[in-house]
Each structure stands twice: as structure tokens, then as C-alpha cells.
Amino acid sequence: MSLEAIKYERGSLEILDQLKLPLISEYIRIRTIEDGYRAIKQMNVRGAPAIAIVGCLSKSLTNQKQVDRKEFEDENLLKTFVVDGFNRLVSARPTAVNMTEAAQRYSQVDSWLVRGDLKASKTRLLAKLESEMEADIKTNKLIGDHGAEEIRKIVGEQVTILTHCNTGSLATAGYGTALGVIRSLYRDKALYHVFCTETRPYNQGSRLTAYELVYEKIPATLIADSMVSAAIKEKGINCIVVGADRVAKNGDSANKIGTFQLAVVAKHFKIPFYIAAPFTTIDFNCESGDQIVIEERSPKELTKIGGKRIAAEGINVWNPAFDVAPAELIEGIITERGVFKPDELKNQMNVE
């Protein structure tokens, strides 16, 4: 079994097929940008950072094969290849911003183009695309450590924490964001227990987060999404940490559907509710959560389980994949630069 969502070496990219977990641990080859697009769209790979990394690496593969071809003896062709490829990948899923953020970085061609030297440009582009994985793991470990330090300060040394969806090694290049905070708390012997929600309808919690926690022998209990309030009351949950797909400039945070109500419930029980996310997930062009496009997915995700119909034929279905936790319900946003109050984020806008 494996927790490595992405396997890459120059010329070869494989992703762990997360639609088959936890029963089957099987890798899929990604040979082109279209393969990358399909894997992201179908959610064979998911998780805001992982989506961006697979997107970048799928370009490096195509890029490597194509850039050796004579068509790329032209700077404008290479620039068009990069920009068009990223635009295709961004269109796979609209809510998570990390793919868009990567596309914006690479469309600033001076970050990789060596004017007048095509060979050097290709080499620099490839190296930059390949550096995304290592950078993500480094960022996640900083998120984990900043989050653990903050939560130990606010909650104490016996943290009983709840998390939602999957934000671990299966949603990133490794270690994770919210699950990275949990890993750091466990490493620091400050973690008493983790409660993870199923996260209907895609079940990232029961299929993926439970898999990661069992794999690493972190003490954890799986609960249904509807059990959260009772679990806080009965099981002494004293903190909630979740990931994010897009954080607006004012701190409103889009995350897996069900997150908004976790923030409301945390307020009711007066326990801290944290968002854990890298700065690549913060969208300073988005003033508030009202501007975040929420992906709606197939009704089949609610009416069928394992291909077997469980809901009456003809019933209407509403299946938004995300919702928005408002900034006023968020205790802190845990990032690789430290932990910020939602209204402090805007001050980080032009900080490198």
C-alpha cells in the first residue's frame, strides 16, 4: 500500500488512483496534458495542491517529448504551448485556485524564458516544473509545524481534533496541510485523538483520510458528517482544522462541502476552527467568498453508491462540491509563513 499520491521521474509520471482507494492501491500513467486533465476532472487525483502539481508535471512530460521536436525552434510557439496547456488544465475544476495560481506564474514567461536561447529556456522551464513537488512538501511541513505550535498554545497538550475531507499526502505532494498539522501534533506528542468525518458524497474522509491515519498508526475515529455536534459534546473535541481550495483576500475560505457548518458548530461550542493552506491557495484577486465559483458535480454522487442506486429515480439533486466558511468564524489561517487572523491576510498581499 502507498501514501505517495504522485510518482515522478523525468519522462515518467504516475498518480495513485484515488477512486480505487482504500481497497486497491493502483497507479495510473499520465503521458500528456490531456491525461492530466482527465485525471483531475474525474478525481483520480484531487486536492488543491496535488491538482496543481500533477498539472505542472503533466506539462513537463509533454513538454519534454515535444520540445525536442523541431516545431519548438520558436520562442512564441513555446510560450503558446505553456499558456494554452495551463489554460486547459485550469478548466478541469473551477474552485481550487492552486492550478490557476501555477498557470499565472508560468504565464509570466520571464520566470523561465531565456530570450534568444531556446535550449536554455526549455531546460529552465522543465527544471521549474519539476521543482513544484519538493516545494510543496517543504511548505506543508512549515504549515504543520506552525499549526501545531498555535494549537498547542491555544488548546494545550492533549488535543482532540476533528478534520474534514482529505488534506494529507493524498491531496498534496506529501505530509499535507490540515493533516500535516495533525501529523506535527502527533510527532510532538500533543495529540490525544483525531476524529475524521466521512465527507459525503465523495467520501474523502472514510476512503482517504482514514487510510492515511491508519497507515501512520495515528489514533483516530471515523464518524458520519451528521455526528459532528454529538461528537464534540460527547467526545471532548476541542479543535477543528480543515484545508481549503481557495481563500479570499478577506479570509472567507472555500473548502469541501460541509465545512461551513463545521465553522458554525465550532462557534456554538466555543472551540477554535482553523483553516490550513499554503499561500498558493490564497487568492488576493478575490475580495470575498461571494466571488468564489463553487463546482457542482454529478447527481450520481448522491443517488448511487458503488454504482448501485440508493435514491428514487427522478428525485432532484443539488451537489455542490464546496462551500464557504466566513472569515468571522475562523480562528486562524495556518500557512507556511505562520498563522494569520483572517483580517491580517490582506497585509501579506505583496509579501514574497
**Segment interacting with ligand LNRAV4D5 (CB under 6 A) among 8-16, 241-249, 284-292, 308-316:** 241-249
94 binds ligand LNRAV4D5 (CB under 6 A): no
- Closest approach of ligand LNRAV4D5 to the CB of residue 67, in Å: 30
167 binds ligand LNRAV4D5 (CB under 6 A): yes
Let me know: does 75 contact 90? Beta carbons within 8 Å.
Answer: no
Distance of alpha carbon 298 from alpha carbon 97, whole angstroms:
21
Q: Which residue type is seen at 96?
A: A
163 binds ligand LNRAV4D5 (CB under 6 A): no
Residue 318-337 contact track with ligand LNRAV4D5, rule CB under 6 A, x = bound: ---x----------------
121 binds ligand LNRAV4D5 (CB under 6 A): no
172 binds ligand LNRAV4D5 (CB under 6 A): yes
The nearer residue to ligand LNRAV4D5, 164 or 249, going by C-beta atoms, is 164
- Closest approach of ligand LNRAV4D5 to the CB of residue 324, in Å: 12
204 binds ligand LNRAV4D5 (CB under 6 A): yes
201 binds ligand LNRAV4D5 (CB under 6 A): no
Query: How many residues make contact with ligand LNRAV4D5 (CB under 6 A)?
Result: 16
* C-beta pairs of 183-188 under 8 Å, 24+ apart in sequence: 183/144, 183/216, 183/218, 184/141, 184/144, 184/145, 184/147, 184/148, 185/147, 185/148, 185/151, 185/152, 185/159, 185/161, 186/216, 186/218, 187/148, 188/148, 188/152
DSSP state of 296: B
15 binds ligand LNRAV4D5 (CB under 6 A): no
Which of 185, 232, 201, 190 has its CA nearest to residue 334? 185
For 267, the grid coordinates are 462557534
Q: How far is CA 351 from CA 12, 251, 348, in A?
A: 35, 16, 5
Verify whether residue 245 is a known catalytic residue. Answer: yes
209 binds ligand LNRAV4D5 (CB under 6 A): no
Which of 30, 18, 42, 27 has its CA nearest to residue 92? 42
- Closest approach of ligand LNRAV4D5 to the CB of residue 52, in Å: 10
49 binds ligand LNRAV4D5 (CB under 6 A): yes
For 77, the grid coordinates are 510557439
Pick the catalytic residue: 245, 252, 283, 323? 245
Burial of 270 (0-12, 13-18, 19+ CB in 10 A): exposed
58 binds ligand LNRAV4D5 (CB under 6 A): no
Residue positions annotated with a catalytic role: 245
Residues in contact with ligand LNRAV4D5 by CB under 6 A are: 46-49, 165, 167, 171-172, 177, 204, 242-243, 245, 255-256, 321
